[in-house]
Structure 1
Amino acid sequence: MTKIDIQYQDQFGRWRHLQTKHNEGDAYRSASHRARSTGKRHRLVDQDGTLLDLIDP
């Protein structure tokens, strides 16, 4: 089972870990909703460090 990390970009341009999920659809929905509500960029990264998606607000 793959782990998907949700990360957000802080005001200094660093990617900070937010949450780990096992379902890609759920991870995308959570990151997309949080990106809209906070106005920050979010990304989905799998356990190998591969970028799956980048979400702009």
Structure 2
Amino acid sequence: MSINIIIQWQDQFGKWQQYQTVHHEGNAYQIAKQRARSTGKRHRLVDESGALLDLIDP
């Protein structure tokens, strides 16, 4: 059984927008970390039920 990790980013209005769904938590973290750095926006990882797994600030 694999878990789906959803990568989301926070827009200028404070709303969370979905970016991508990944099956491996390590890869999800690396993608979100890289994208947060390049876009300057906050990203977060959530699971399928909406539970927060990690919050990444640029």
**TM-score, reference length from structure 2:** 0.97
CA distance in 1, matches of 2:36, 2:23: 19
Secondary structure at the aligned position of 1:7 is classed as: strand
Residue identity opposite 2:9 in structure 1: Y
Query: How far did residue 48 of structure 1 move?
Result: 1.0
1:1-57: CA deviations, max 9, x gaps? 100000000011000000000000000000000000000000000011110000000
**TM-score, reference length from structure 1:** 0.98
Task: List structure 1 runs of 4+ shifted beyond 3 angstroms.
Answer: none
Unmatched runs of 5 consecutive residues or more in structure 2:
none
C-alpha RMSD of matched pairs (Å) = 0.3
Query: Paired residues, what number?
Result: 57
Tell me the equivalent position of 1:24: 25
Unmatched runs of 5 consecutive residues or more in structure 1:
none
Residue identity opposite 2:18 in structure 1: H
2:14 is the counterpart of 1:9: no
